[in-house]
C-alpha cells in the first residue's frame, strides 16, 4: 500500500537524520540501542502472541484442515483434495461466488462515485461543511449493524416503507423487494452504497491537499471544469482513489450481517443473497463441516489476496504519484 | 499520500478557510440544495425508524411520514421484555465485551505501536509489513481454527474469545493508527527524558501515553462502535441465550416470530443504536481524524 511505503521511508529518514549530520555515534547511544532491541520484544510480546495464536496460527491450521474431514468430533481425517473437488461440483459455491462478485462489483464503484461526487461538492468551502460531513458519515458507522439490517428488511419488505411510498405514488402491486430473488441482492447493494461516507471523508482530505495553483494554471490555459476534473483532480487524487478502492473491495468481500439478517440466515430467496461469507458460515457453523469451511476460507483468502495484488499491479498504469 | 496525520489539519481548518476557488462558480444555493436533499434522503430511513418506534405496529406500514398519527410509548417496555431475558441483560453482556475490548486495544496496541515507532529490532520492516497484512485479513479465514481453539479451551459461551484477542493486539488498524501518531511526537522529548534517566518503560508511560491521548481516544471510540455493532464473531462464539449480546438478541427478534412485531423491534433497534449515536456526537473530531489517518470505517 502506498501509504505504508511513505510511512516507512519517513521513519527511516527520522532515524538517520542525526547520523547523517556527521555526529560521531556516542557510546551511550549504542548501548541504548542494544537494550532497545531487547526491550522491543517485551513491548511486542502481546502482539507476537496474538499473531501466533489468533492470526498466523489459525491461517496455517485452516490450510491443514482444508485437506481434512472434521466435524469437531474425533480428530481431523486426511482426505487430500476431496474438499476442493467437492467445491468444483457444488452449485451453491458457484452461486455464492456469483452473488459476492456482483455485490462487490456493483456496490463498490457506485459507493466510490457517490463519495467522490459529494466530496467535490463539499470541497467548495461551503458553510456548514462539518455538519454535512457528519450527516453523510453517520451511515458508515452503523451500516453493518444488525439494527440497520433489520430496518432494511422492513423498508424493502412487501409491507415496507418503500412500498408504502410507491403505493402512495400510485403503484399498484410493487414487489416484496427482499423476498423477490431478482431484487433482494439489489437492496443489499443499496445498503452498501448508503455507507459512502467513510471514503467520502478520505476523498475530502485528499482534495484539500491539491494546491489551488494547479486549477488556476489550468483555467488560465483555458481548461473548463470538465477538463480540470479530468486532467488535474483525477490524476492528483488517484492515489486516494486507489486506496479507497482497495479498502472498500476488501471490506465488501467481508459483508455478512446484512445478508444474514435480511435473509434470516438462509441466503435466500433462492440463494440470491448467499454471500460467500454466509455460505462459509452455513457450512462451518450450521453443518459443522470444518474441513470444507476451511477450504472455502482459503479460497476466500486467495481471491481477496489475488484481487488486491491485481489492484496493485493495475495501479501502476493509472495511479499518479507526482514527481 | 494523504493518509498520514497531516490531513487532520486541513480538515480541521476547512471551516475557517474562505472559499478557495470562488470565481466562476455556480451559485452556492445549488450546492446547498443538492447537499440538503442528499442528507434528507440519507437520514430518512433512520428518522422514520425513530418515529415508527413510537407508532402502533399496525400503523407502521400505512404511515410513511415522520409524524405519528397516534403516539405510543408502549413499544419500549414491550420490546425490553419480549425476549427470554430483559434487554438490559444483553446490554450488560455487550458492555462487558466492549469494555474488555477497549482496555485490551488501548494497552496492547499502544505497546506494539511504541516498539514499531521508536525501537529498533531485527526484521522490523518485515514485522511491520506482517502487521499491515493482518489489517487486510478477513476474519472469516481464521474463524474456524479460532473456534476449534476456543472450544478446546472451553471458552465458547464465555466473554474470553471476544476479549482475549484484543488483549493480544490483533486489531492491526489500531496499531497502525498509534504508530502513525507516535511518529509525529518529537523525538527530542524522548531524548530529554532519557537524559533525565528514564528507561523505555517510563518514556512510554510518562511521555508517549500522555501525548497520545487523541489517538487513544480515536482507538477507544472506534473499538466501542465496532465491538458494539459486531455480529459475526458474537454469533459464533455466543450460542447460549444467557450470553447473547445486543446484536445477537436483536436478531432473534426477527427470526423467532414469523410476524415481526415491528414497533417493539424498532424500539429495541433504537436502543441498540443509541450509544453509537452518542459516541458519534461526542467523539466526532476523533472519528474524522481516525478515518482520515487509516481509511477505516
How far apart, in whole angstroms, are the C-alpha atoms of residue A180 and residue B33?
A: 35
Residue A4: the pLDDT is: 37
B28 lies in some domain? no
The predicted model gives A39-52 an average pLDDT of 94
Question: Which residue did the predictor score with more confidence, B88 or B11?
Answer: B88
Using CA atoms, how far residue A2 sits from A108, A164, A235, A237, B138, in Å, is: 20, 47, 15, 13, 20
pLDDT tens digits, A144-183: 999 999 999 999 998 889 998 998 898 888 888 998 999 9
> Domain A83-318 is classified in which CATH homologous superfamily?
MetI-like (1.10.3720.10)
Does the distance separating the beta carbons of A62 and B144 come in below 8 Å? yes
pLDDT tens digits, B110-138: 999 999 999 989 899 999 999 999 988 88
Domain of B238? 87-294
> Is the minimum CB–CB distance between A147 and chain B shorter than 8 Å?
yes
> Is the minimum CB–CB distance between A46 and chain B shorter than 8 Å?
yes
Domain ranges of chain A: 83-318
Residue A137 pLDDT more than 60?
A: yes
The predicted model gives B49-64 an average pLDDT of 89
Predicted structure pTM score = 0.87
Residue A70 pLDDT more than 70?
A: yes
Mean pLDDT of chain A: 87
Residue B5 pLDDT more than 60?
A: no
Q: Cell 400503523 sits at which residue?
A: B59
**CATH code of the domain in which B91 resides:** 1.10.3720.10
The predicted model gives B271-297 an average pLDDT of 77
Hey, of A74, A154, A199, A298, which one would you mutate to test binding to chain B, going by the most B CBs within 10 A of its CB? Answer: A154
B269 lies in some domain? yes
Question: Which residue did the predictor score with more confidence, B58 or A55?
Answer: A55
> Is the minimum CB–CB distance between B12 and chain A shorter than 8 Å?
no
DSSP A158-227: TTSHHHHHHHHTT-SS---GGGSTTTHHHHHHHHHHHTTHHHHHHHHHHHTTS-HHHHHHHHHTT--HHH
Residue A321: the pLDDT is: 80
B203 lies in some domain? yes
Of the listed ranges A112-116, A221-225, A304-308, B206-210, the least confidently predicted one is A221-225
Residue A7 pLDDT more than 80?
A: no
Nearest Cβ partner for B39 among A55, A136, A194: A136
Mean pLDDT of chain B: 86
Does the distance separating the beta carbons of B10 and A209 come in below 8 Å? yes
Residue B286 pLDDT more than 80?
A: no
> Which residues of chain B make contact with A284, given a CB cutoff of 8 A?
143-144, 147
- Identify whether the C-beta of residue A236 lies closer than 8 Å to the C-beta of residue A214: yes
Does the distance separating the beta carbons of A7 and B25 come in below 8 Å? no
Nearest Cβ partner for B120 among A36, A250, A277: A36
B75 lies in some domain? no
Surface of A (58-87) touching B: CB under 8 A:
58-59, 61-62, 65, 72
In this prediction, residue A6 has a pLDDT band, given cuts at 50, 70 and 90, of: very low
Residue B283: the pLDDT is: 80
The nearest alpha carbon in chain A to B104 belongs to: A46
In total, how many domains does chain B have?
A: 1
| % of chain B exceeding 90 in pLDDT | 67
pLDDT tens digits, B31-43: 899 999 999 999 9
Amino acid at each position: 500500500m502506498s501509504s505504508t511505503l511513505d510511512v516507512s521511508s519517513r521513519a527511516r529518514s527520522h532515524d538517520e537524520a542525526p547520523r547523517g549530520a556527521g555526529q560521531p555515534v556516542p557510546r551511550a547511544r549504542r548501548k541504548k540501542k542494544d537494550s532497545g532491541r531487547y526491550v522491543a520484544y517485551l513491548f511486542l510480546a502481546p502482539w507476537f502472541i496474538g499473531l501466533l495464536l489468533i492470526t498466523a496460527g489459525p491461517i496455517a491450521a485452516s490450510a491443514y484442515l482444508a485437506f481434512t474431514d472434521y466435524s469437531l468430533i474425533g480428530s481431523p481425517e486426511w482426505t487430500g483434495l476431496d474438499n476442493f473437488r467437492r467445491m468444483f461440483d457444488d452449485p451453491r459455491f458457484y452461486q455464492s461466488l456469483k452473488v459476492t462478485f456482483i455485490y462487490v462489483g456493483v456496490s463498490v464503484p457506485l459507493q466510490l462515485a457517490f463519495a467522490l461526487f459529494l466530496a467535490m461538492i463539499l470541497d467548495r468551502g461551503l458553510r456548514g461543511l462539518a455538519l454535512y460531513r457528519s450527516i453523510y458519515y453517520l451511515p458508515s458507522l452503523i451500516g453493518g449493524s444488525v439494527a440497520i439490517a433489520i430496518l432494511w428488511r422492513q423498508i424493502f419488505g412487501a409491507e415496507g416503507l418503500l412500498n408504502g411510498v410507491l403505493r402512495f405514488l400510485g403503484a399498484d402491486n410493487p414487489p416484496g423487494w427482499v423476498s423477490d430473488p431478482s431484487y433482494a441482492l439489489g437492496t443489499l447493494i443499496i445498503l452498501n452504497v448508503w455507507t459512502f461516507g467513510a471514503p467520502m471523508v478520505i476523498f475530502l482530505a485528499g482534495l484539500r491537499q491539491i494546491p489551488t495553483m494547479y486549477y488556476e494554471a489550468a483555467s488560465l490555459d483555458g481548461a473548463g471544469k470538465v477538463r480540470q476534473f479530468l486532467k488535474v483532480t483525477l490524476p492528483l487524487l488517484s492515489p486516494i482513489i486507489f486506496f479507497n478502492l482497495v479498502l472498500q473491495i476488501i471490506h465488501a468481500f467481508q459483508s455478512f450481517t446484512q445478508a444474514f439478517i435480511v435473509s434470516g440466515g438462509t441466503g435466500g430467496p433462492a440463494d440470491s443473497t448467499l454471500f460467500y461469507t454466509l455460505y462459509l458460515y452455513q457450512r462451518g457453523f450450521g453443518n459443522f463441516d470444518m474441513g470444507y469451511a476451511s477450504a472455502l476460507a482459503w479460497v476466500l483468502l486467495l481471491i481477496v489476496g489475488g484481487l488486491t495484488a491485481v489492484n496493485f499491479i493495475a495501479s501502476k498504469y493509472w495511479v499518479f504519484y507526482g514527481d | 499520500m494523504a493518509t498520514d496525520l497531516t490531513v487532520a489539519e486541513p480538515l480541521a481548518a476547512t471551516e475557517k478557510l474562505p472559499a478557495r476557488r470562488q470565481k466562476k462558480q455556480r451559485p452556492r444555493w445549488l450546492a446547498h440544495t443538492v447537499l440538503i436533499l442528499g442528507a434528507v434522503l440519507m437520514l430518512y430511513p433512520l428518522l422514520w425508524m425513530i418515529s415508527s418506534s413510537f407508532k402502533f405496529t399496525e400503523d407502521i406500514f400505512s404511515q410513511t411520514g415522520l409524524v405519528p398519527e397516534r403516539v405510543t410509548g408502549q413499544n419500549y417496555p414491550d420490546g425490553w421484555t419480549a425476549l427470554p431475558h430483559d434487554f438490559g441483560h444483553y446490554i450488560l453482556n455487550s458492555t462487558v465485551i466492549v469494555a474488555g475490548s477497549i482496555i485490551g486495544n488501548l494497552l496492547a496496541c499502544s505497546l506494539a505501536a511504541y516498539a514499531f515507532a521508536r525501537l529498533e529490532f531485527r526484521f522490523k520492516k518485515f514485522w511491520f509489513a506482517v502487521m499491515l497484512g493482518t489489517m487486510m485479513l478477513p476474519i472469516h479465514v481464521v474463524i474456524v481454527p479460532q473456534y476449534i481453539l476456543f472450544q478446546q479451551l472451553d471458552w465458547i459461551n464465555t466473554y474470553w474469545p471476544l476479549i482475549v484477542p484484543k488483549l493480544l493486539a490483533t486489531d492491526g488498524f489500531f496499531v497502525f493508527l498509534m504508530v502513525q501518531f507516535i511518529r509525529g511526537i518529537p523525538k527530542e522529548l524522548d531524548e530529554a527524558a532519557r537524559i533525565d534517566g528514564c528507561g523505555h518503560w517510563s518514556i512510554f508511560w510518562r511521555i508517549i501515553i500522555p501525548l497520545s491521548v487523541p489517538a487513544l481516544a480515536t482507538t477507544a471510540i472506534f473499538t466501542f462502535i465496532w465491538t458494539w455493532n459486531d455480529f459475526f464473531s458474537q454469533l459464533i462464539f455466543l450460542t447460549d441465550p444467557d450470553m447473547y449480546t445486543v446484536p445477537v438478541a436483536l436478531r432473534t427478534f426477527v427470526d423467532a416470530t414469523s410476524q415481526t412485531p415491528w414497533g417493539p423491534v424498532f424500539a429495541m433497534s433504537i436502543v441498540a443504536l443509541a450509544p453509537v449515536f452518542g459516541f458519534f456526537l461526542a467523539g466526532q473530531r476523533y472519528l474524522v481524524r481516525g478515518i482520515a489517518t487509516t481509511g477505516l470505517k
